Amino acid sequence: MTSNLLFDFSVNKENKTIHIKREFDANLELVWQAWTTLELLDQWCAPNPYKTETKTLDFREGGFWHFALVSPEGKKHWSRYDYKKIEPQKSITELRAFSDENGMVSPDFPRTECTLIFSETDGKTRVTMTEKYESPEMFEKMATISHKKGFSSHLKNLDELLLTLKNK
């Protein structure tokens, strides 16, 4: 049952990092596919009631994901994740940043490096994320209960999508 799945969100103020561990009741191949496929990302990767709208996804080292979080009122908040390193079904290292609609990264905030590690045990997949913030101000904004709740919300969306995909 999904309520028994691991969700750990911890903050290291000294290193300006956030560590998130989350378990999913699906095999590694399916979780990886949901994390790396445009059609699937747009179905889950936003905290409720927001939606994700991808403009570009070029999932390869040197590629990037340019997308907007769209509010219920239709306001778009643009981001760009540049892929530094990808080991299929093992890990992704990306540089995250706010951007404009054209994908130009905002100079107001240094980028955040995020490393995701995927592993499977007994048909369940664990994703371990480490967000490393260069900006103390951005770290302070993200090291909050609000970020934890928002992140938890969009991962619950992934739980629901994985259940649907497993039952096809």
* pLDDT digits 0-9 by tens, 62-119: 999 999 999 999 999 999 999 999 999 999 999 999 999 999 998 887 899 999 999 9
Who wins on pLDDT, 101 or 3? Answer: 101
Q: Where are the domains of the chain?
A: 2-166
* pLDDT digits 0-9 by tens, 36-57: 999 999 999 999 899 999 999 9
> Could you tell me what percent of the chain has a pLDDT over 90?
78
- For tokens 């979080």, name the residue: 69
Question: Residue 168 above 90 pLDDT?
Answer: no
Provide the β-strand partners of residue 65. 57, 81
The Cα 88–Cα 102 span in angstroms is: 28
The mean pLDDT value for 108-132 works out to 94
| Helices and strands per DSSP (H, E), number in the chain | 4, 8
Backbone angles phi, psi at 60, to 5 degrees: -165, 160
On whether the CB atoms of residues 68 and 52 are closer than 8 A, the answer is yes
Least confident of 2-6, 31-35, 62-66, 83-87: 2-6
What is the Cα gyration radius of the chain?
15
Least confident of 10-14, 75-79, 148-152, 159-163: 148-152
- The predicted model scores a pTM of 0.92
The per-residue pLDDT for 3 is 57
Superfamily of domain 2-166: START domain (3.30.530.20)
